[in-house]
Amino acid sequence: MGLIRKILDTLLEGPVVDVRVGLHWTAVVVEVDGQLRCGLASTLARPHNHGRRPAVPQAGELESLPGRQLAEFALTEEPELRSLGVAAVNALLPREPQAWREGNAEEILARIGKRKRTVLIGHFPFVPRLRNKLDQLEVIERVPRGADLPESAAPDVLPKAEVVAITGAAFVNHTLEDLLALCSPEAIVMIVGPSSPLSRVLLDTAAHLVSGSIVTDIDRVLRVISQGGNFRQVHHAGVRLVTLARPEFEPVFD
């Protein structure tokens, strides 16, 4: 969990203002320098069990925690708490709006993956369209569908890939570093999805591009998340998709 620790060390300070744990997404709102910020993360959960101790022991009181203390939950082994921690991380990250580039992950992958063996970790909604744009696309998914490969294929497939796109949910479920270790040193690596931390730490140590999310309408997004909305609904409610890239990949956005 070295990457998580390095990112935690960069976070700003700020009190927690609101916390929502929805069916699909978790949101944490903090106040930094007088401004509200909202971070998102995939909601991880286990099957409901009345006899088990509470998944979130401090439920109802999380706003009493300092933001950085809530972000530390990203290190825990409890899935529900990890989601809270990563959402707090994404709210407290230093922001570089001047470095954010527009363009969704599908468009970027269609450019950098042309005539290259591309592997996508996670079955994103754009997979069917992307298959029509790339010569070689393999998808590895925890619950495979159609032509997807199972997780067990990763050690065989990833080392041969020229372009690898990894779901940001891997940062939440603590599989990101293992997946990165399987990638060829020559591969172009991209981390994709609303859970992805828009952090220079990832660019300096692991990835060439990071595509993440910035919440632009906090009230509407919280309302949709609280009512079980999926990401398409959350996106339409008020989320901007942006990418942070190493300098040599800036031409991708021209």
Q: List the domains of the chain with CATH numbers.
A: 2-94 (3.30.390.100), 98-253 (3.40.50.11590)
How many angstroms separate the CA atoms of 95 and 88, rounded?
Answer: 14
C-alpha span between 143 and 38 (Å, rounded) = 29
pLDDT number for residue 251: 85
Beta-sheet strands, E only, within the chain:
16-21, 25-32, 35-42, 117-121, 136-140, 163-167, 188-192, 209-215, 239-245
CA distance 82 to 42: 9
Q: What parts of the chain have a pLDDT lower than 50?
A: none
pLDDT of residue 48: 65
- Tokens matching residue 58: 């401090």
| pLDDT of 59 | 79
As separate numbers, helices (DSSP H) first and strands (DSSP E) second, the chain gives 11, 9
Residue 178's pLDDT is 96
Residue closest to 31 by CA, chosen among 66, 69, 83, 78: 66
Of 107, 131, 135, 118, nearest to 242 (Cα)? 107
* Per-position b or e across 16-47, b if 16+ CB within 10 A of its CB: bbbbbbbeebbbbbbbbeeeebbbbbbbbeee
- CB contact at 8 A, 167 and 122: yes
pLDDT of residue 49: 64
User: pLDDT value at position 129?
Assistant: 94
Q: Alpha carbon 251 to chain centroid distance?
A: 23
- List Cβ neighbours of 49 (8 Å cut-off, separation of 6 or more): none
